Amino acid sequence: MLDLENVLKQGLQDAQAGWNMGSFGAIAEFHHVGDELPPPLAAPLTQVTHRGGLRIERLSDVRPVAYETLSPRAHRWSQAVSLCLPEAQAMMHRRSVLTEIGPDDAALRAQDRAAILFDMGLAQPQVDFCIRTADPELLALLRANAGRSLMDPDNPAMAAILRAHPHRVALTRLGRVEVFQMIGGPDTGGTSPEGPHTHVLPKLLRARRTHSANAPIPDGWVPCAGFHPESPVFGRLGEDKAFNRAAFYRFQEMLQA
């Protein structure tokens, strides 16, 4: 039987692994960068770097779903493990407007715990997608526009967020992912920075899906976190690499567990 906690601990210390929390259209990803060695775990299932971090707070009632998906390139495929909860347990607050939550007392780093969390109001089922800031100017603008949709074209808050690059915090019933890096956009050359980053895609959000149709999640279950073990055939940046037999067999064991 799969020892899930041990698998996740090993994954958090694997520089080639990737993680995410979010929904279909709003997702926060945690990755290591380059050849940096992962730091020691800050807690049993917590990893923090100067670019972002991840904490898994719960494994009770979790159903891991390991699967592979096809790639447009014949010699490739993708692999993932979704950490799922029963639908009723997975649901978050589903706020539809910008909402101030208060100081982020549970932040991964002590220095961030006085900063203020705002739910972006994306109304997603299994994630409260938030920003966190202590910047007085941004705080004033966010508070002035609380209770309004960020998708309202007359709301100046979204443009201010893109300019200020506050921390992004994805909260689920399993834990959180925090991203300290800049938001991908004009200030980053139109691309997401390497390592931890976020995506908010309004077109996908409108689908109100908990996950991609390509993910074989059982009926009645909702993915609340994702783990992407090292690929046997490509690297973190999508580059081809020599076939890694050990990575291949490690994932096959997960599929069979």
- Is pLDDT at 207 greater than 70 in this prediction? yes
- Is pLDDT at 2 greater than 80 in this prediction? no
pLDDT band, very low/low/confident/very high, at 201 (cuts 50, 70, 90): very high
pLDDT band, very low/low/confident/very high, at 257 (cuts 50, 70, 90): low
Q: Is residue 4 part of a domain?
A: no
Q: Is residue 5 part of a domain?
A: no
Total domain count, the chain = 2
What region does 112 belong to: left with phi over 0, alpha with psi -120 to 50, or beta?
A: alpha
Other residues' Cβ atoms within 10 Å of the Cβ of residue 167: 22
Mean pLDDT of 132-152: 97
Q: Is residue 167 part of a domain?
A: yes
Q: Is residue 202 part of a domain?
A: no
Last residue of a domain, one of 191, 221, 236: 191
Say if residue 127 is in the same domain as residue 151: yes
pLDDT band, very low/low/confident/very high, at 1 (cuts 50, 70, 90): low
Q: What is the pLDDT of residue 166?
A: 98
Last residue of a domain, one of 137, 161, 191: 191
Say if residue 77 is in the same domain as residue 106: no
CB of 130 within 8 A of CB of 26? Answer: no
Q: Is residue 199 part of a domain?
A: no
Domain, as residue range, for 62: 16-32+39-89+210-256
Say if residue 187 is in the same domain as residue 251: no
Q: What is the pLDDT of residue 254?
A: 79
Say if residue 50 is in the same domain as residue 123: no
Q: Over the stretch 36-63, which tens digit does the pLDDT of each residue have?
A: 778 889 889 999 999 999 999 999 999 9
Say if residue 80 is in the same domain as residue 101: no
Say if residue 112 is in the same domain as residue 166: yes
Q: Is residue 225 part of a domain?
A: yes
Say if residue 220 is in the same domain as residue 171: no
Other residues' Cβ atoms within 10 Å of the Cβ of residue 252: 14
Last residue of a domain, one of 191, 220, 242: 191
Say if residue 44 is in the same domain as residue 101: no
Say if residue 153 is in the same domain as residue 223: no
CA-nearest of 108, 103, 170 to 139 is: 103
Q: Over the stretch 76-98, which tens digit does the pLDDT of each residue have?
A: 888 899 999 999 999 999 999 99
Say if residue 78 is in the same domain as residue 104: no
Say if residue 108 is in the same domain as residue 173: yes
